[in-house]
Structure 1
């Protein structure tokens, strides 16, 4: 709000009014014009994904005769399905690491709280949708917001997968954080807007501003909808870059942080960044978006379907008998074409040239070979070889050889998924900043930990800036380590077999703890830190038990001297019985449990590959 003196009286006028909204709408129009090429490409890619690419080819003059058969093979779709399955098999799980020793407790709590926040947001669904968008159009966008209406007004984090068609930024920037303005738009029914904002009654007409839309199968009517714009921009307040926010429809301001005295100085979010994270598949220069597998393989898909069309036309022509008939041949054509009639009537003499079959040249095998080569080219280009889907080349039968081929062939997917983890880490960073800003009231979380289910209370007191003895403040900062949450039965079996091998080699024996720890320093596998901690705890307990046993022996010996008893002999017999009977019986029980576990794992693996 700004103060103005009118007629000797001080009047507060909003900083963001109709004039500022008109200027923002003009900026939005320029951004939309600069993004038209990207929007057209995304819409075209969506048609390829829906196997409607013949319609797109017809628009560009590549469709040929519309009466011909138009086969739409799914090689490109199969590539995207395979890549999406790889991404979901490697669903990420975060680990928060402290940057300073004093923040270890907060990092441990955040490591357990963040997965609960993600689960409450149904993030796996948003993650899946983002990967569909990323594979099809080359870019996925996550929106990380604070929704004050969640939890009955308490508020919580809201994570969504955004549609790139509804987002606009400054053309030519590589990162959206470099854009001067950022817009997120949404078409909303007028009735809903008037219910939520009564001041809009009578001010909303038919849809004015337009955004690019997909080619829906349904008829979508937007005549009674209005374009609601979320406008993000930055200002400088006391030398600090502040994120400002304005929501408007038409020329009507619904909310603006600069019009709110409490928010004008600190901005919409304390982290000061646009609350959007772009996850790019194949990056391009000069744009925060990239291109996807549809862009990479659509040319090969077109050529495959065109060759399929030509082969099918030749096949149909060869399989459908056709004949040359002389106009004076005097043959009843209807009876001749009807294969159910044994007699065909003629008039006059029937000559050899009265009717003759049309012969279609046989298709040479080289054309089928060209088609197969084009399919192989697409597989190689997309890294979607047969081995990734479980198939193998001729002669490869050994399980280790198949596993080696799959491991080598999966490097493209691993690289692609690793890039996605970087975007996931950015999403979690924004989540931590929102927790730091808004979690003022304690919240209850049901946490799954080493001790089972726990209920814990959590707020942002430990994340706030801390005063230093020498003056100033320190804000707790954290690093994020993202790993794959593997869910395949083969990975689980691999980890279980490793644990059994370590057990058989004596890694859990207390007398071999030092050797086991030195060996673990040279190894690398999942949950290595947890295993190291278990061995150290076992070593510590063994040392404590030995110290207590020795102390008990000294105490009993002193008691025997004083009272003349023979408790020391009884104690030694008891200790000997414990040491002698414990390991043997325990080893037998462990061997039985181990055999049962292996048998159960084999049964589970067999069930996993059986059709249901």
Structure 2
């Protein structure tokens, strides 16, 4: 379709042509110069994460010697990533108006399905690795018209911060007049898809690259630029336009598309990228991460490890100071398998003596241990947060309390991730509103475990007519929703804690119908996952207890009445059966 548009518009002047692309490339070069320091830090941090940071220290004295790297920094990063995956987000859509309650309920059911189809869990994991390493995680929320056989679907991708560029000095990318996303692709594949690229295979852009052990051949690759920019229309409304170009050739431009020239590429008018910084920096949408904070301490630990390793090797090997006049056969002396070493002349302490290296001192080991503890404190990766215990703490409740108190850093960084997740969900809803023209059916799992098939289309999200009052049209109203994010508890410890809480409530008699009022009073002062379901069950038990008490009272009264009226020779069992049936509403008194 894009190729047909380009072919049909070749004869007339296009809004986006080689001159506009050249101007965009010049703007991109300015943005790259302003981001050069950040790009260098990203490349350096990747080496630190892979424990290959010794490549940054080219010391001639160290050539041929082992360059040790300990994994304390890596362990801290991996522990943070595990916390993030244990608290995988789940969206809940809430309406702002009563008319949209049914739509919100449907969206709460199908939004997780859309995320699952987009392989969001893998995207979430990859973005968290980059957030912890680079200091910023970035996701892109796009509409992919080629999915599902041309029907199209929402695509969510983890973005490499090294390949993104914005105006230097802005804190929010939406305030940047231009935004660039770069990608390296095979030149021959690009020419097969866009024939207009033939003859323009010489790459005119250079991009920073991570350092790889095996090297990376880029001779047959070209840099493809996704150029997003904002431009006001005739009515003053800001439109988002998109252009893809490579080696100075326009591959696609929304302004050249008659269907989108006056509408914009995305109706929401925002750059389809969500930044999630770990630790914020002023005047930049990108932040810094744990590697930036921990690498100096990790470097000191690695240098001490190297010195200590050399000391241990030297201490474990016997060395000698040998004079040229000693007359000792050096080959036999160096060969530890020989029992006899020949000597010419007489040996004395002046010509031959052993050289012994002093062993490690206790204060050196203590200093190294203190630097390791410092790194743990810097990263908040204490032993207690990983399940370790100290000081004789053995009770499960005490361990849980200490872990809860020690995980506040993890909870803080998760909150920022949840805020970014809510922004992503809003962009997904906007794409549904624009592109879900045909009705789609989503399979969801119902409350009782059975499969339900829910139809949905973008019409439910588009402006609804407000009706007519007194012959005056009230206009239209666009449904607006709130996104509330909660964590899908996947931690094994969380499940065990929930099970222990349930057993304690049972043992304390919370579910006994006679204790309903007291149990509700206690639950009002408690807070744990799923407490509302427990309260509902306790209330139901209390209601059943009241109904049972009322029925028993009514049964006793009816038994007394039947005893007075019935003849003395009547069977007692028959009277009791009739009374019970009457009390339960199963029959009428004969």
TM-score (norm. length: structure 2): 0.87
| Alignment correspondent of 1:49 | 49
Q: What SS does the corresponding residue of 1:210 show, helix, strand or coil?
A: coil
Q: What SS does the corresponding residue of 1:161 show, helix, strand or coil?
A: strand
| Alignment correspondent of 2:8 | none
| Alignment correspondent of 1:411 | 408
| Alignment correspondent of 1:87 | 84
- After superposition, give the CA deviation of every residue in 1:163-195 in whole Å (9 maximum; x if it has no partner): 001111000110101111000111111111122
In 2, the alpha carbon distance for the partners of 1:535 and 1:466 equals 42
- After superposition, give the CA deviation of every residue in 1:277-311 in whole Å (9 maximum; x if it has no partner): 00110111011111111101000011001111112
2:461 to 452, 456, 463: 463
Query: Residues 212-291 of structure 1 correspond to what in structure 2 (within 5 A)?
Result: 212-237=208-233, 238-291=235-288
Quote how far apart the aligned CAs of 1:239 are: 2.2
| Alignment correspondent of 1:478 | 481
In 1, the alpha carbon distance for the partners of 2:430 and 2:579 equals 61
| Alignment correspondent of 2:202 | 206
Contact 1:229 1:247 in 2 (8 A): yes
Q: What SS does the corresponding residue of 1:437 show, helix, strand or coil?
A: helix
Worse-superposed segment, 20-29 or 541-550: 541-550
Q: What SS does the corresponding residue of 1:282 show, helix, strand or coil?
A: coil
- After superposition, give the CA deviation of every residue in 1:384-433 in whole Å (9 maximum; x if it has no partner): 11112222223323333222221111111111111111111111111111
Q: Does 1:127 align with 2:124?
A: yes
Contact 1:206 1:225 in 2 (8 A): no
Q: Which runs of 5+ in 1 are unaligned?
A: 1-10, 551-565, 580-612
Q: What SS does the corresponding residue of 1:291 show, helix, strand or coil?
A: coil
In structure 2, do the counterparts of structure 1 residues 472 and 332 end up closer, same or farther at CA, with 3 Å as the change threshold?
same
In 1, the alpha carbon distance for the partners of 2:508 and 2:343 equals 94
- After superposition, give the CA deviation of every residue in 1:45-74 in whole Å (9 maximum; x if it has no partner): 00011111111122xx6x853233311100
| Alignment correspondent of 1:317 | 314
Contact 1:234 1:243 in 2 (8 A): yes
Q: Does 1:330 align with 2:327?
A: yes
Query: Residues 278-427 of structure 1 correspond to what in structure 2 (within 5 A)?
Result: 278-427=275-424
In 2, the alpha carbon distance for the partners of 1:531 and 1:398 equals 25
Q: What SS does the corresponding residue of 1:207 show, helix, strand or coil?
A: coil
Contact 1:207 1:222 in 2 (8 A): no
- After superposition, give the CA deviation of every residue in 1:324-353 in whole Å (9 maximum; x if it has no partner): 111111111111221211222222333343
In structure 2, do the counterparts of structure 1 residues 413 and 116 end up closer, same or farther at CA, with 3 Å as the change threshold?
same
Contact 1:89 1:486 in 2 (8 A): yes
In 1, the alpha carbon distance for the partners of 2:307 and 2:515 equals 72
| Alignment correspondent of 2:93 | 96
In 1, the alpha carbon distance for the partners of 2:136 and 2:388 equals 30
Q: What SS does the corresponding residue of 1:91 show, helix, strand or coil?
A: strand
In 1, the alpha carbon distance for the partners of 2:277 and 2:147 equals 30
In 2, the alpha carbon distance for the partners of 1:52 and 1:266 equals 49
In structure 2, do the counterparts of structure 1 residues 575 and 502 end up closer, same or farther at CA, with 3 Å as the change threshold?
farther
Q: Does 1:525 align with 2:528?
A: yes
In structure 2, do the counterparts of structure 1 residues 330 and 366 end up closer, same or farther at CA, with 3 Å as the change threshold?
same
How many residue pairs get aligned? The number is: 553
The CA RMSD measured in Å over matched residues stands at 3.0
TM-score (norm. length: structure 1): 0.84
Quote how far apart the aligned CAs of 1:572 are: 2.3
| Alignment correspondent of 1:572 | 579
Quote how far apart the aligned CAs of 1:519 are: 5.9
Q: What SS does the corresponding residue of 1:229 show, helix, strand or coil?
A: strand
Contact 1:190 1:204 in 2 (8 A): no
Q: What SS does the corresponding residue of 1:485 show, helix, strand or coil?
A: strand
In 2, the alpha carbon distance for the partners of 1:121 and 1:131 equals 17
Quote how far apart the aligned CAs of 1:363 are: 3.2
| Alignment correspondent of 1:431 | 428
In structure 2, do the counterparts of structure 1 residues 348 and 232 end up closer, same or farther at CA, with 3 Å as the change threshold?
same
In 2, the alpha carbon distance for the partners of 1:497 and 1:69 equals 50
Quote how far apart the aligned CAs of 1:526 are: 2.5
In 2, the alpha carbon distance for the partners of 1:191 and 1:309 equals 48
Contact 1:204 1:226 in 2 (8 A): no
Q: What SS does the corresponding residue of 1:67 show, helix, strand or coil?
A: coil
In 2, the alpha carbon distance for the partners of 1:305 and 1:387 equals 24
Worse-superposed segment, 34-43 or 382-391: 382-391
Contact 1:467 1:473 in 2 (8 A): yes
In structure 2, do the counterparts of structure 1 residues 476 and 503 end up closer, same or farther at CA, with 3 Å as the change threshold?
farther
Contact 1:206 1:223 in 2 (8 A): no
Q: What SS does the corresponding residue of 1:290 show, helix, strand or coil?
A: coil
In structure 2, do the counterparts of structure 1 residues 309 and 507 end up closer, same or farther at CA, with 3 Å as the change threshold?
closer
| Alignment correspondent of 1:610 | none
Q: Which runs of 5+ in 2 are unaligned?
A: 1-10, 468-472, 554-570
In 2, the alpha carbon distance for the partners of 1:132 and 1:36 equals 22
Q: What SS does the corresponding residue of 2:482 show, helix, strand or coil?
A: strand
- After superposition, give the CA deviation of every residue in 1:262-290 in whole Å (9 maximum; x if it has no partner): 10111111111000000110111011111
In 2, the alpha carbon distance for the partners of 1:196 and 1:89 equals 42
In structure 2, do the counterparts of structure 1 residues 269 and 380 end up closer, same or farther at CA, with 3 Å as the change threshold?
same
Q: What SS does the corresponding residue of 1:159 show, helix, strand or coil?
A: strand
Q: What SS does the corresponding residue of 2:123 show, helix, strand or coil?
A: helix
Q: What SS does the corresponding residue of 1:222 show, helix, strand or coil?
A: coil
| Alignment correspondent of 1:592 | none
| Alignment correspondent of 1:164 | 161
In 1, the alpha carbon distance for the partners of 2:347 and 2:536 equals 99
Worse-superposed segment, 166-175 or 404-413: 404-413
In structure 2, do the counterparts of structure 1 residues 535 and 439 end up closer, same or farther at CA, with 3 Å as the change threshold?
farther
Contact 1:207 1:224 in 2 (8 A): no
Quote how far apart the aligned CAs of 1:451 are: 3.0
In 2, the alpha carbon distance for the partners of 1:120 and 1:268 equals 23
- After superposition, give the CA deviation of every residue in 1:562-590 in whole Å (9 maximum; x if it has no partner): xxxx99975423467999xxxxxxxxxxx
In structure 2, do the counterparts of structure 1 residues 515 and 261 end up closer, same or farther at CA, with 3 Å as the change threshold?
farther
